[in-house]
Amino acid sequence: MSSFSRAPQQWATFARVWYLLDGKMQPPGKLAAMASVKLQGLHKPVYHQLSDCGDHVVIMNTRHIAFSGNKWEQKVYSSHTGYPGGFKQVTAAQLHQKDPVADIPEDILKNLVEELPQPRKVPKRLDEYTQEDIEAFPRVWSPPEDLRL
């Protein structure tokens, strides 16, 4: 009889882990790819398309993302209102100057999540914290200002 047990291994496989991603000076495409893998659970050996085995992801410092090369001016986001002459284009620089930490508006998010029929459940495990939220978070211990490592 061995003392080896599979129960802890199975628990560790199915457990939801929290991942903290720092968006400072990171390209948004690579950041989104990393977050997508963790949110879907593609990195787990028990992944299946119909199972909900993804982990939680928190992205910090999204205000300080960085595009490579000249993409701030070349990357264009397009939308159309559905009316004649309603085609609009905005560059990444204009969008970032308007609101660096822009979220999806609540009415659009509600429509996507609740009103449209979804083929499978939409995971709600992506969180974003701004620098103000991080500073306002209660701390158990704060290091002194003159601490040198």
Amino acid at position 1, single letter: M
pLDDT digits (tens, 9 = 90+) for 114-140: 555 556 666 677 777 778 888 888 877
Whole-angstrom Cα Rg for the chain? 21
SS3 letters across the chain: CCCCCCHHHHHHHHCCCEEEEECCCCCHHHHHHHHHHHHHCCCCCCCCCCCCCCCEEEEECHHHCCCCCCHHHHCEEEEECCCCCCEEEEEHHHHHHHCCCCCCCHHHHHHHHHHCCCCCCCCCCEEEECHHHHHHCCCCCCCCCCCCC
Q: What is the mean pLDDT of the segment spanning 12-26?
A: 84
Higher pLDDT, residue 105 or 143: 143
User: CATH number of 13-136: 3.40.50.300, 3.40.47.10, 3.40.50.720, 3.90.1180.10?
Assistant: 3.90.1180.10
- Exposure of 4 in the CB half-sphere (CA atoms within 13 A): 2
| 29-43, 79-93, 100-114, 119-133, range with the lowest pLDDT | 100-114
The domain limits of the chain are 13-136
